[in-house]
Amino acid sequence: NAGVTQTPKFRILKIGQSMTLQCTQDMNHNYMYWYRQDPGMGLKLIYYSVGAGITDKGEVPNGYNVSRSTTEDFPLRLELAAPSQTSVYFCASSHEGQGDEQYFGPGTRLTVT
């Protein structure tokens, strides 16, 4: 299994541009998550999904959108990039149920200038 994969690894955006961060998992997990991590800080939950067709907001959803049309894919969309969205973005997945561990992707490093 490849686990959780993310693309791209790095991206530089200009203010106002839009982009989609891709996330795919091949473990048939129901739950998927998007986090952001600012320098020297912990992770903050942006959005999560408990299954195909179901998404919900996390702690810091403003400026982002998600969709979950399949079990495998959970893309994160930035519509109007702002410097405050400069961060490292991690996608994660878990099977389901209480006590289940999350598996993280390698991250996407995004800079907005």
Partner 1 sequence: DAKTTQPTSMDCAEGRAANLPCNHSTISGNEYVYWYRQIHSQGPQYIIHGLKNNETNEMASLIITEDRKSSTLILPHATLRDTAVYYCIVRVAWDNYGQNFVFGPGTRLSVLP
User: Which residue ranges make up the site for partner 1 (CB under 8 A)?
Assistant: 4, 31, 33, 35, 37, 40-45, 48-50, 56, 58-59, 88, 90, 92, 94, 98-107
The nearer residue to partner 1, 79 or 100, going by C-beta atoms, is 100
SS (H, E, C) the chain: CCCEEEECCEEEECCCCCEEEEEEECCCCCEEEEEEECCCCCEEEEEEEEECCEEEECCCCCCEEECCCCCCECCEEECCCCHHHCEEEEEEEECCCCCCCCEECCCEEEEEC
Q: What's the closest the beta carbon of residue 72 comes to partner 1, in angstroms?
A: 18
CB of 26 to partner 1, least distance (A): 16
Closer residue to partner 1, CB minimum distance, 16 or 51: 51
Question: Closer to partner 1 at the Cβ: 38 or 79?
Answer: 38
**Considering the complex, what minimum distance in angstroms separates the CB of residue 16 from partner 1?**
28
Taking the CA of residue 95 as centre, how many other CA atoms within 13 Å lie in the half-sphere pointing to its CB? 6
CB of 93: closest distance to partner 1 in angstroms?
11
Nearer to partner 1, 14 or 41 (CB): 41
